[in-house]
A and B are shown apart, each in its own frame.
Chain A
């Protein structure tokens, strides 16, 4: 090989190198320009910061509130059991309402410590309708063993509600219905609630918080994937089980069934729906229960392909849903279960499901299952 050909080769290589450099530079500068806007919002979203916010300002405080309310409920029940009178019954009911409201702000966190042996806590302790006859049978069954029971419709918040509200009985009758067995069952149920939430709070304040924040990926099983999946399930539960099913809007159901609403005995279903949806929007927008803005899905979307459009569309739908929730007839939901306002609300919640369920995970790149498809 003589000097000239070597030089020729070097020249060719140089030219090639230069071309690559120019093309690369042009491409990258084009991008810098088009992404100027993103840079301002900090180009790469900090998932660790979001998870920290979510743990410290949303999940943990919400569970702590619920823990406090459940402890208050336990105290009220103990007082009632000692001194059974109408005043203490009413105090117990008030404590129960507070706990049920706080539960709405936690039901979406059924992963990690929130997942019990029998499933996400809300699917174990937040089950309605209550199986009344099973509860009555358990009360008189001396061998009944709650920790070893797999039944979900005989325990939790709504079993307590059934016991302290009792349809068709006067307050005086309810008070006098509480014999030793019934008091024992009431205490048994509230003790399970107490130990569950004491435990969940302890675990979140223990090592789980660090694990949660450290898992910054987007694959199946990552914190974001768990948090997201449960958020969507919780949202769908609101639509499916708190509205659609009792209103008879589920395929195969001929007529509305008012007894299927959440909190049938106390009649606070409507208030719980308001709280539940507030919890959903808090998770979506990244808002703590006291209204502080934190890093949420909405902030995350702002820096992603197609994200701002989805955020706008979702926020529009959310406003419409809030209006429709306000338009629900006042009073007991079970008294108005055939009201067309329920179907209108259901339809709007349905419209928003795709935003939360498929569009959001798609844009965030979250894997919701361990198996993959080619078309993913």
Chain B
């Protein structure tokens, strides 16, 4: 009765990513196998052993697990998938690796700069977009949602007492925005690098303590080391070599990494980043409050940006006799799924379509499904998210604006 069963194999239905509804979980044993394979692959990647295959396997396994259910979506998982994808194409096994030691590949001392640049770009995108996303009225002027989240942490040892003070959420909001937006520039220059890195450690430690964000702080603390000089990394490698007695291979081949970057590959890298830079802005094509409608919200590095929660009650009407009954959500969904679904319009639609199928199978000829979804955003009184009169079985999820989402009414209530 662990995490895997609860999240992946027990649920009766899974919420899919747009266009990926063909991704399904396999049997419990199979899922365990995938996790074991993924673990072995990641160990192999660290050791630089059968590197290319290991990176491909890791990327596929991780992304597969990630794509099973969108209610578990985290920007961090997306980040891991992107980095894993890039790892496939860089020669990270051509120095200080088992592949070199075993003669599976030739050792080299230099690589083209794009091999490091892609990771720097990736990390820069994560931070800068996270910073830009924080430049909004609620975050900066109202200090929301931190004004809700921080007082809840007042029992923490040592730092907990701070959260009794009203100024703290404001300081944290502004510091968070400035940190995310500018930290990359600090890391880029040698003079400011060390102090910036200390900021990174401090910032991620604090957020790691405060919020349930799992492994992400660790990932970033180690990930940004890519911004440090080659001498710095060389020192680490020398130190590690001594520590494990891995032989000081004085590589004679100091040639540039001989990989001839094909033209299409350059184009692919270019398009990869163009996509990443443009895709988060797609929300501008939709009308309405982004946090409310969440149209164009995901894959935009909007991390821990709002306090949102909802209660969605679905009503299924038998089109033949007009009888309408409500649905007990937890008979179909686990707590996490129900919680995430209730505040995200596209997931509400998915569940409505599931209910349509479910009741058709039960013999209802023409089920009509509507929802009353009361959603609170940043502590404001709950409002209806979806037009409760709309039959959702007639709506399809597309890239077009969802006209059945009710607009967010900014209340005058001073909070």
**A interface residues with partner B (beta carbon < 8 Å):** 24, 27-28, 31-32, 35, 43-45, 47, 216-220, 240, 244, 248-254, 304-307, 309-310, 313, 350, 353-355, 357-359, 361-376
Which of chain A's residues have a CB closer than 8 A to the CB of B170?
27, 31
Name B330-362 residues within 8 Å CB distance of A: 335-336, 339-340, 342-344, 355, 359, 362
Please state if B314 and A28 are interface contacts (CB–CB under 8 Å).
Answer: no
Which of chain B's residues have a CB closer than 8 A to the CB of A31?
166-167, 170
Which of chain B's residues have a CB closer than 8 A to the CB of A251?
314-316, 324-327, 355, 359
Minimum C-beta distance from A317 to chain B (A): 11
Which residue, of B75, B156, B164, B379, has the highest number of chain A Cβ atoms within 10 A? Answer: B379
Please state if A362 and B148 are interface contacts (CB–CB under 8 Å).
Answer: yes
Please state if B313 and A350 are interface contacts (CB–CB under 8 Å).
Answer: yes
Please state if A372 and B212 are interface contacts (CB–CB under 8 Å).
Answer: yes
CA A368 to CA B334, docked complex, whole Å = 12
Please state if A358 and B374 are interface contacts (CB–CB under 8 Å).
Answer: yes
Q: Residues 289-310 of chain B: 1 if any A CB is under 8 Å from the residue's CB, otherwise 0?
A: 0000010011000111111111
Residue B151 is within 8 A (CB to CB) of chain A in the complex: yes
Interface size on B, residues (CB 8 A): 71
Which of chain B's residues have a CB closer than 8 A to the CB of A44?
151, 154, 163-164
Which of chain B's residues have a CB closer than 8 A to the CB of A369?
335-336, 339
Minimum C-beta distance from A246 to chain B (A): 12
Please state if A375 and B306 are interface contacts (CB–CB under 8 Å).
Answer: yes
With A27-B167, A306-B380, A365-B148 known as contacts, the answer to whether A250 contacts B154 (CB < 8 A) is no
Which of chain B's residues have a CB closer than 8 A to the CB of A368?
335, 339
CA A369 to CA B415, docked complex, whole Å = 27
**B interface residues with partner A (beta carbon < 8 Å):** 7, 71-75, 144, 147-149, 151-156, 163-164, 166-167, 170, 211-214, 294, 297-298, 302-311, 313-316, 321, 323-328, 335-336, 339-340, 342-344, 355, 359, 362, 364, 372, 374-376, 378-382, 413, 415
Please state if B309 and A358 are interface contacts (CB–CB under 8 Å).
Answer: yes
Please state if B166 and A32 are interface contacts (CB–CB under 8 Å).
Answer: yes
Which of chain A's residues have a CB closer than 8 A to the CB of B297?
375
CA A372 to CA B307, docked complex, whole Å = 12
CA A362 to CA B382, docked complex, whole Å = 11
Which of chain A's residues have a CB closer than 8 A to the CB of B144?
305
Please state if B323 and A254 are interface contacts (CB–CB under 8 Å).
Answer: yes
Please state if B212 and A370 are interface contacts (CB–CB under 8 Å).
Answer: yes
Please state if B315 and A374 are interface contacts (CB–CB under 8 Å).
Answer: no
Please state if A219 and B212 are interface contacts (CB–CB under 8 Å).
Answer: yes
CA A35 to CA B151, docked complex, whole Å = 14
Please state if B415 and A306 are interface contacts (CB–CB under 8 Å).
Answer: yes
CA A306 to CA B145, docked complex, whole Å = 11
**Which 10 residue pairs of A and B lie closest in terms of their CB atoms, listed nearest first?**
A365-B152, A306-B379, A354-B374, A251-B325, A251-B316, A354-B311, A358-B309, A362-B309, A31-B166, A44-B164
Minimum C-beta distance from A153 to chain B (A): 17
Minimum C-beta distance from A106 to chain B (A): 21
Q: Can you list 16 A-B pairs, Cβ within 8 angstroms, ordered by A?
A: A27-B170, A31-B167, A217-B155, A250-B328, A251-B315, A251-B325, A252-B359, A254-B323, A309-B381, A354-B374, A362-B307, A363-B376, A365-B307, A369-B335, A371-B336, A372-B74
Which of chain B's residues have a CB closer than 8 A to the CB of A313?
381
Which residue, of A35, A45, A365, has the highest number of chain B Cβ atoms within 10 A? Answer: A365
Please state if B211 and A47 are interface contacts (CB–CB under 8 Å).
Answer: no
Please state if A354 and B382 are interface contacts (CB–CB under 8 Å).
Answer: yes
A32, A218, A358, A371: the one within 8 Å of B382 (CB): A358
Minimum C-beta distance from A335 to chain B (A): 22
